[in-house]
Amino acid sequence: MAMVGLFWIGEDSVYVGAEPEGAAPGVRLSEHGVETLGAGRGRFWTWDEVVRIETRDVPVRSGVRRLASMAFDAALVVVTGDGQLPPAFSVEVATAEETVQVDVHAAVAGGIYLPPEYELSVALLRRLADGGTDIGDLLAWGRDHAAEGTPPREEREALLRKWAGA
């Protein structure tokens, strides 16, 4: 699997945020539709039913502030011995009938996203929800490249621009 923007991309699924383990909450995007995961949260909608996918409270910082936050967190773990899960953010999936919110964990190392990747990811979520982009493009990339791991920042941004039509 590989991280590109807010997405954790594999061969058959794309997760918004990190891929959940066990009963942890998550949001999976597939060719069939959008699925919320986790104990008591299992819901599914086809792409035709989804009208909006949005994120809230995503940790976004400039490159310098991101490095400072990561250094502080690492020092805190050394001093206290208390490791933490990556920060969580919310994903809202809206249909004509309902809006469901799920907290997911950040997939990016250090848990903080850079502004360009975040903005392009949000644009891509809008395009996926309105049918302007096909999730199949992300999945095709995942089948061909996800096993190689997360690409460099410039390549991630180029992929997000292409998929979002930006």
Alpha carbons 120 and 97: distance in angstroms, whole number: 27
What are the extents of the domains in the chain? 2-150
114 and 60 Cβ atoms separated by less than 8 Å: yes
Buried b (16+ CB within 10 A) or exposed e, 111-130: bbbbeebbbbbbbbbebbbe
Mean pLDDT by runs of 10 across the 166 residues of the chain is 94 93 92 90 94 95 46 40 69 96 88 92 97 96 95 96 91
How high is the pLDDT of residue 133?
Answer: 94
What are the C-alpha distances in Å from 147 to residues 13, 19, 26, 49, 142?
Answer: 13, 15, 21, 31, 8
Residue 27 has a pLDDT of 97
Find all residues with CB under 8 Å of 102, minimum gap 6, and list them: 25, 26, 27, 36, 37, 38, 41, 90, 91, 93
pTM: 0.84
User: In angstroms, rounded to a whole number, what is the distance separating the alpha carbons of residues 98 and 103?
Assistant: 17
Compute CA distances 88 → 39, 66, 138, 155, whole Å.
17, 16, 23, 25
Q: What pLDDT score was predicted for residue 42?
A: 87
Contact 51, 128 (CB under 8 A): no
